[in-house]
Amino acid sequence: MTMRRPDFDGTVVPAHWEFLDELRARGILEQAGGFTDKSGGAYVIGAADLAAAREIAHRDPLHLKGCSDVTVREWDAR
């Protein structure tokens, strides 16, 4: 999950989309979308474990540029 910080820089969004497109092309990204209130968004990725998921999510340009807080949670989908 990504949550925008008060100093969010919208110019980073295209790089974020490219990051998600790369994950999708590699078969890692399951789903992604923004919250309707524009506060952030969420994406579901497939990873070997929580540490691997964090490593992937922390390569998101929104995280690298300090625009958004990135939180990674394990999800037991049924």
The answer to whether position 77 is within a domain reads no
Degrees to nearest 5, angle at CA 33 with 27 and 35: 160
Strand ranges in 23-77 using DSSP code E only, listed in sequence order? 29-34, 40-45, 68-70
| Residue 44, domain CATH | 3.30.70.1060
- Whether 76 maps to a domain, the answer reads no
CA distance 54 to 72: 6
78 assigned to some structural domain = no
pLDDT of amino acid 55: 97
Distance of CA 39 to the CA centre of its chain: 13
Q: List the domain range (segments joined by +) for residue 35.
A: 2-70
In a domain, 75, yes or no: no
Question: In this predicted structure, what is the pLDDT of residue 76?
Answer: 84
* Mean pLDDT, the chain cut into blocks of 10 residues (78 residues total): 95 97 97 96 96 97 97 89
Say how many domains are in the chain.
Answer: 1
State the pTM of this model: 0.91
